[in-house]
């Protein structure tokens, strides 16, 4: 424990030095980190200070290491937290780290399986295909001669991330008290969510489970390939997958006809993942998509980030798509409100008016004219305005949607939105309410409606009887009760201090009446008694009534250049 505390303190000092380097020295002073530094760290030079705050923030995260890079990538999906220029900068964050050596690779493999690397693989390329902050990937061959890719976790990364997360949790609790947007997105909640996501990513068994789930859901889909997992060569720190010999989408050589067919495959795959499988790829950028040019056939790799949607979320998203396709702003406003978690009552009429403006601005007829980043940014800004919390799965979905939009734009920029969206959405909606499926969700809905209809008269009768007998009670929201309790406590403290002050004044005059200590005709003891009483009462008032501080807006603070 002591060792961990010392490591955390050293990491805090490193963070403070790097933050000062990129022009955030004032934040170091405000958070009290300056006390942890033996010397004043060097501040940003003129060139660095001339950059935007967003760029300096992105560069700072990149230098702070893998945990902060991952945090920046997560924050790049949270347009409800940061201004647009921050989102754009953080979206460019990449893991740019040197690879680690073969001796460390051999040590990781031996630690994972208890056998030397040479006994597990017939061939193993010492030059990695890719190197990231958490792992690197090598090509290899199994003992049976099958080509595979092996993902090996970077040594020591678990300890570094543990130390960084400890610091981030402390920082989040500090921000909780001073950031205006915490009512919509809690800093501690974001870091806890990030903590779970990072630990899931560190355990390669989770990614292996994601790959197996994708393999099962894609059985029978001839135009999409998913790599196979080699279970006997997979553990918590080593993952072995089938090697798919195909070029990445970004460099595939396709004619116009093949590009259009591939665009249809990509869009259909996105819809089927979301609305049929309930399991979707969270990072479908061109580097994670491969193309077999004869067909074409789409191949998907890298399943470290996936999203899951429930049947209820699927139904809501279907109605959302239909509302967008029909330009029904009223239905769209209601669906968006239901998708999130409202933090209070919203003005749906004004919400509808704002959605009208977004639809008119961002919903033309061709995909080439749609800017998904701006559309999602404005929708998330509306979430902040109307105090609607955005769940994690929708944040991942928004990120995936932006990536898919970019791919479609590059493959088939003139793709008509209505021609693609409407038939698929109608089919999905019809499937939900197919009479042949009544034994499923629709039947459950009918049973619930029947139950509610039969119980409603009895419930109303019970309410009337309780009113007549004086037994009717109302349950208040716990947050309201806590606020009322705080107000009553503050009132009691102020009243008590006032009574004490009055008693102090009266007691002072009575006790010191025989003593006529005067200076220039002013009774000294009386003045001291009154001054002490005023100080006591003022302290109580300031502490209980004026002692709070106004929270700052993270959006406005970070938006300053």
Q: How far apart are CA 215 and CA 409, in angstroms?
A: 28
In sequence order, what DSSP letters do the residues of 157-223 get, joined into one string? HHHHHHHHHHHHHHHHHHHHTTBGGGGTS-HHHHHHHHHHHHHHHH-HHHHHHHHHHHHHHTTT-TT
In this structure, the number of other CB atoms found within 10 A of the CB of residue 460 comes to 10
Q: How far apart are CA 215 and CA 227, in angstroms?
A: 8
**Token output for 359:** 């639809």
In this structure, the number of other CB atoms found within 10 A of the CB of residue 231 comes to 11
Residues 367 and 405: beta-carbon distance below 8 Å: yes
Strand, coil or helix: 521: coil
Has 328 been annotated as catalytic?
no
Phi, psi angle pair for 39, to nearest 5°: -130, 160
In this structure, the number of other CB atoms found within 10 A of the CB of residue 338 comes to 14
The label of the residue with tokens 């990149």 reads 62
Do β-strands 135-142 and 224-225 pair in parallel, antiparallel, or remain unpaired?
unpaired
Quickly list H helices, 232-371.
256-272, 311-325, 329-339, 348-362
Residues 200 and 206: beta-carbon distance below 8 Å: yes
Bridge partners for 240 per DSSP: 150
DSSP designation for 328? -
Q: How far apart are CA 477 and CA 413, in angstroms?
A: 51
Closest among 173, 179, 169, 174 to 81, alpha carbons compared: 179
Q: How far apart are CA 15 and CA 518, in angstroms?
A: 60
Strand, coil or helix: 335: helix
What is the torsional sign of CA 98, 102, 104, 106?
Answer: positive
Q: Which of 85, 125, 277, 283 is catalytic?
A: 283
Bridge partners for 147 per DSSP: 141
Max distance between CA atoms of the chain, in angstroms, equals: 110
Name the residues annotated as catalytic: 283
């Amino acid at each position: 424990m002591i060792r961990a505390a010392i490591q955390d303190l050293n990491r805090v000092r490193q963070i403070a030095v790097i933050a000062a380097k990129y022009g955030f020295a004032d934040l170091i002073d405000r958070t009290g980190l300056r006390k942890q530094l033996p010397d004043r760290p060097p501040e940003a030079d003129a060139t660095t200070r001339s950059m935007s705050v967003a760029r300096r923030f992105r560069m700072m995260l990149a230098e702070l290491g893998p945990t902060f890079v991952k945090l920046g990538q997560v924050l790049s999906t949270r347009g409800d937290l940061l201004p647009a220029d921050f989102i754009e900068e953080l979206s460019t964050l990449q893991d740019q780290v040197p690879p680690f050596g073969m001796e460390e690779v051999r040590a990781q493999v031996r630690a994972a399986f208890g056998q030397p690397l040479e006994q597990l693989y017939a061939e193993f390329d010492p030059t990695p295909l890719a190197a990231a902050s958490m792992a690197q990937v090598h090509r290899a061959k199994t003992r049976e001669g099958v080509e595979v890719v092996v993902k090996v976790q970077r040594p020591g990364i678990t300890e570094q991330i543990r130390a960084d997360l400890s610091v981030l949790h402390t920082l989040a609790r500090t921000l909780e008290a001073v950031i205006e947007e915490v009512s919509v997105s809690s800093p501690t909640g974001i870091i806890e969510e990030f903590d779970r996501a990072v630990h899931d990513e560190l355990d390669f068994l989770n990614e292996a489970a994601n790959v197996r789930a994708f393999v099962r859901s894609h059985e029978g889909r001839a135009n999409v390939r998913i790599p196979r997992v080699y279970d006997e060569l997979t553990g918590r720190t080593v993952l072995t997958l089938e090697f798919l010999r195909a070029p990445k989408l970004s460099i595939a050589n396709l004619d116009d006809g093949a590009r259009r067919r591939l665009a249809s495959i990509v869009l259909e795959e996105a819809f089927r993942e979301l609305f049929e499988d309930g399991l979707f790829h969270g990072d479908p950028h061109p580097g994670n998509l491969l193309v077999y040019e004869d067909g074409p056939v789409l191949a998907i790799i890298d399943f470290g980030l996936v999203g899951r949607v429930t049947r209820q979320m699927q139904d809501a998203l279907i109605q959302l798509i239909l509302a967008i396709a029909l330009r029904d702003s009223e239905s769209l406003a209601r669906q968006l409100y239901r998708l999130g978690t409202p933090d209070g009552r919203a003005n749906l009429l004004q919400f509808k008016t704002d959605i009208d403006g977004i639809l008119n601005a961002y919903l033309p007829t061709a995909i080439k004219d749609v800017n998904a980043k701006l559309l999602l940014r404005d929708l998330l800004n509306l979430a902040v305005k109307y105090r609607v919390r955005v769940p994690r799965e929708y944040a991942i979905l928004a990120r995936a949607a932006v990536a898919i939009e970019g791919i479609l734009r590059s493959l088939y920029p003139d793709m008509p939105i209505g021609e693609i969206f409407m038939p698929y959405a109608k089919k999905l909606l019809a499937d939900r309410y197919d009479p042949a499926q009544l034994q499923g969700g629709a039947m459950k809905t009918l049973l619930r409606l029947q139950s509610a209809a039969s119980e409603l008269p009895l419930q109303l009768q019970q309410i009337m009887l309780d009113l007549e007998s004086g037994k009717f009670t109302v349950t208040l929201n716990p947050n309201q009760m806590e606020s009322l309790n705080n107000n009553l406590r503050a009132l009691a403290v102020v009243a008590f201090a006032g009574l004490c002050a009055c008693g102090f004044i009266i007691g002072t005059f009575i006790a010191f009446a025989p003593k006529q200590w005067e200076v220039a005709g002013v009774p000294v003891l009386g003045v001291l008694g009154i001054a002490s009483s005023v100080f006591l009462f003022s302290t109580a008032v300031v502490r209980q009534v004026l002692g709070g501080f106004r929270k700052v807006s993270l959006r406005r603070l970070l938006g300053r250049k």
